[in-house]
């Protein structure tokens, strides 16, 4: 069987080239992401660095690990999905060949071994190309993560010899996983049905397809419900899984949509020969149309869904911060300079927040608790002034108790184990490890916020004076805000800006970071989709040469045949885009539910500009591919192909 597989691969290599490229990309990205992830998981952070710099590096490494983990999962999903859809299509195109193999004595097990051997060859070739390509991908990913600020400029991922075994396992495993279902389905088809193209051989909506379609649709709905209760830092992974499960469900049900889309195309092009033929071909080529639409569907579901997620998060964070701050001006300065703001004429309230680098030790775990060091943003505040400029209600406790050796849990750590009201934690300060009693907890927010708040007396005066301070200023009744800002500026305290301006600047910075994350994740999806859709169009055209020849012998010109295939490809593109938008709407519903629960006001941003670009690009890529493959398929004289059997 292996020799027969090699022979088939040599003769029909155009059918496999797209799957080889997909496996190659999957191996390269998994290898690259895994090497960077392993290096980032054990960073070499110098003990001589200032604590705040070391904490910033640790946060960056943590963000990089999270992003790389998502990249690994997305790479594996896309590779398996596209290889499986490609193999399902190619196996369907070859069902007559496989039926003849059965008729001359081949058993079901031999058919399955033939297809699995082909997958093994495909995986080996994809791995061989993917390993060296992974080295280039590693350099590019490292540069991108450094440029986004996740990794330091001197970061260099380390080569691990065991990665070769992992890459080989990924390449061969993805190929075998992709062909497994198609090989089982091909072995079950009765030979005579395949030869005559009747019965189960032509059925597209099989029982397993119905089962998995319903299963993943139910999974997407369940995840949308879960998004209402998931913590803020789990929103992005949940929405990603909503998009993935929704895309799989829509892909499973796409054959149901193809005939209706054909009817619509026939109605719009009624009275034309091209329209009638396109409608008939769409009705008869349901599997072909669904296979071509699948990668477009996944692209739109992930790209539009995740762009909407990041846009909605940015908008929700901006609105939440504007509502959370009751002030007129924001002043950044040192702690020493901030002390002068409250005494200036025209100042009603001045709430200064001084950022500290102060690890907190908490006892976590059931039964036998263990000490956990929590690093994050700690703010030293005046509780009374802070409450006047941050009127959002607390989740638990009261700021009135925040004095002496006490601590309040910030929104980023709200609900964490070991940080309940009444618990005692230890903070590493200049006085040593100081025990602090938890007296209040803020409600979670979309942007995370501070981990802890402590009263100013917990920290020494010299630390407060040297710290980085942000002061929220409320003007006294009747005072002119513009004049007050000029007075603060003239005193040399800092450069005051309006609250809305400060929030917008922070939101813009977050938006830049989100765009970078989108580039890492969704650029991958776009590359996979382009390869897969071009491959599907080329395979379909190559296998329809006899059909095109017969159409030309019945009176159609070569140009009409090419236009007919072009119309069909655009209808299929519309199907993929529409179903992808439907799957993306589930993602937007999930993010709307999550933002509404946390902020009280659902935020949903539809990325219209990106959607328009994706639609235009999809029609352009599919259209050009269809025209090019149609011209190539109709190049031979019709009489030389009409009597042949593909």
> E strands along 296-369, which residues?
329-334, 347-356, 360-364
Specify the pLDDT at position 642: 58
Predicted confidence (pLDDT) per residue in 402-454, tens digit: 988 899 998 888 777 768 888 888 888 777 888 999 999 988 887 767 889 99
With H, G, I as helix, E, B as strand and everything else as coil, classify residue 541. helix
Give the H/E segment covering residue 164: helix 163-188
- For residue 43 the two structure tokens come to 């960073």
Separation between Cα atoms, residue 233 and residue 108, nearest integer Å: 49
Q: What is the pLDDT of residue 197?
A: 53
- Distance, in Å, from the CA atom of 121 to the CA atom of 118, rounded to the nearest integer, reads 5
Report DSSP letters for 16-30, one per residue: HHHHHHHHHHHHHHH
Q: Which residue has the tokens 């005939």?
A: 259
What crossing angle do the helices spanning 608-633 and 286-324 adopt, rounded to 10°? 160
pLDDT value at residue 201:
47
Burial 439-477 (b: 16+ CB within 10 A, else e): bbbbebbbbbbbbbbbbbebbeeebbeebebbbbbbbee
Q: What is the C-alpha R_g of the chain? A: 31
Residue 65: enclosing H or E segment and its boundaries? helix 51-93
Provide the β-strand partners of residue 468: 334, 355
Residue 542 vs residues 287, 354, 416, 604, 626: alpha-carbon distances, Å: 15, 68, 59, 43, 11
Q: Which residue has the tokens 């942007």?
A: 447
pLDDT digits (tens, 9 = 90+) for 236-257: 788 888 988 998 899 888 888 8
CB 427 within 8 A of CB 433: yes
At residue 636, φ and ψ (nearest 5 deg) are: -65, 160
b/e map of 493-521 (b: 16 or more CB within 10 Å)? bbebbebeebbeeebeebbeebebbbebb
CA nearest neighbour of 219 among 250, 255, 179: 250
Rounded CA-CA distance 402/390 in Å is 15
For residue 536, what are the CA distances in angstroms to 86, 548, 579, 629? Answer: 7, 17, 18, 11
The model's pTM is 0.77
Mapped onto helix, strand or coil, the DSSP state of residue 472 is: strand
pLDDT of residue 221: 92
524 token code pair: 């991958």
Kindly give the interhelix angle for 95-103 and 108-147, rounded to the nearest 10 degrees: 150
Structure tokens at 493: 């305290």
Q: What pLDDT shows up at residue 434?
A: 86
Taking 50 as the pLDDT cut, the residues of the chain under it are 198-201, 646
**In degrees rounded to 5, what are phi and psi of residue 431?**
-85, 0
CA distance 548 to 113: 33
CA–CA separation, 24 and 126 (whole Å): 4
In which element (H, E) is residue 312 found? helix 286-324
427 near 458, Cβ under 8 Å? yes
Q: Please provide the size of the chain in residues.
A: 646
CA angle 502-506-507, nearest 5°? Answer: 115
* CA-closest candidate to residue 316, choices 25, 45, 15, 605: 605
| Per-residue pLDDT, 199 | 46
């Amino acid at each position: 069987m292996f020799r027969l597989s090699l022979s088939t691969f040599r003769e029909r290599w155009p059918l496999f080239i797209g799957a080889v490229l997909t496996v190659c990309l999957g191996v390269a990205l998994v290898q690259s992401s895994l090497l960077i992830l392993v290096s980032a998981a054990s960073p070499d952070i110098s003990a001589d660095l200032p604590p705040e710099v070391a904490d910033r590096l640790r946060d960056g490494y943590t963000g990089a690990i999270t992003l790389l983990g998502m990249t690994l999962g997305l790479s594996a999903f896309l590779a398996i999905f596209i290889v499986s859809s490609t193999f399902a299509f190619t196996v369907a195109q070859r069902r007559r060949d496989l039926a003849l193999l059965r008729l001359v004595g081949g058993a079901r097990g031999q058919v399955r071994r033939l297809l699995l051997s082909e997958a093994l060859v495909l995986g080996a070739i994809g791995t061989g190309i993917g390993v060296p390509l992974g080295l280039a991908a590693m350099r590019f990913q490292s540069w991108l993560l450094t440029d986004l600020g996740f990794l330091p400029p001197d970061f260099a991922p380390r080569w691990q010899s065991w990665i070769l075994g992992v890459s080989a396992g990924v390449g061969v495993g993805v190929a075998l996983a992709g062909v497994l279902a198609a090989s089982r389905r091909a072995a079950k088809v009765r030979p005579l049905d395949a030869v005559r193209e009747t019965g189960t051989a032509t059925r597209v909506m099989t029982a397993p397809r119905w089962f998995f379609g319903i299963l993943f649709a139910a999974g997407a709905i369940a995840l949308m419900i879960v998004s209402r209760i998931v913590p803020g830092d789990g929103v992005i992974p949940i929405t990603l899984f909503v998009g993935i499960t929704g895309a799989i469900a829509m892909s499973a049900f796409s054959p149901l949509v193809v005939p209706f889309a054909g009817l619509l195309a026939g109605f719009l092009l009624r009275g034309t020969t091209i329209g009638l033929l396109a409608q008939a071909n769409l009705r008869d080529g349901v599997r072909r149309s669904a296979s071509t639409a699948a990668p477009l569907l996944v692209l739109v579901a992930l790209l539009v869904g995740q762009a909407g997620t990041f846009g909605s998060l940015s908008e929700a964070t901006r609105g939440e911060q504007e509502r959370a701050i009751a002030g007129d001006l924001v002043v950044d300065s040192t702690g020493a300079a901030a002390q002068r703001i409250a005494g200036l004429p025209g100042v009603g309230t001045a709430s200064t927040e001084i950022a500290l680098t102060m690890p907190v030790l908490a006892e976590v775990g059931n039964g036998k608790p263990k000490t956990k060091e929590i690093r994050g943003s700690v703010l030293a505040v005046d509780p009374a002034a802070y409450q006047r400029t941050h009127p959002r209600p607390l989740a638990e406790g009261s700021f009135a108790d925040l004095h002496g050796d006490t601590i309040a849990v910030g929104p980023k750590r709200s609900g964490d184990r070991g940080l309940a009201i009444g618990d005692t934690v230890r903070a590493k300060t200049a006085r040593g490890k100081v025990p602090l009693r938890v007296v209040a907890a803020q409600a979670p927010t979309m942007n995370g916020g501070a981990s802890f708040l402590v009263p100013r007396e917990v920290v020494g005066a010299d630390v407060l004076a040297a710290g980085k301070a942000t002061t929220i200023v409320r003007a006294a009744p009747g005072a002119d805000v513009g004049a007050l800002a000029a007075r603060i500026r003239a005193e040399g305290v800092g450069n005051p800006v309006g609250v809305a301006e400060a929030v917008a600047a922070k939101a813009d910075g977050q938006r830049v970071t989100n765009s970078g994350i989108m580039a890492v994740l969704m650029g991958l999806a776009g590359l996979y989709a382009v390869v897969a859709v071009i491959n599907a169009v080329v395979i379909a055209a190559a296998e329809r040469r006899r059909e095109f020849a017969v159409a030309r012998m019945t009176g159609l010109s070569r140009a009409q045949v090419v236009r007919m295939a072009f119309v069909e490809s655009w209808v299929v593109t519309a199907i993929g885009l529409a179903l992808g938008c439907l799957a993306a709407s589930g993602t937007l519903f999930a993010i709307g539910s999550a933002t509404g629960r946390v902020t009280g006001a659902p935020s949903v941003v539809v990325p219209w500009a990106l959607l328009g670009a994706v639609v235009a690009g999809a029609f352009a890529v599919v259209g050009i591919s269809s025209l090019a493959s149609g011209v190539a398929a109709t190049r031979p004289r019709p009489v030389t192909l009409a009597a042949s059997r593909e």
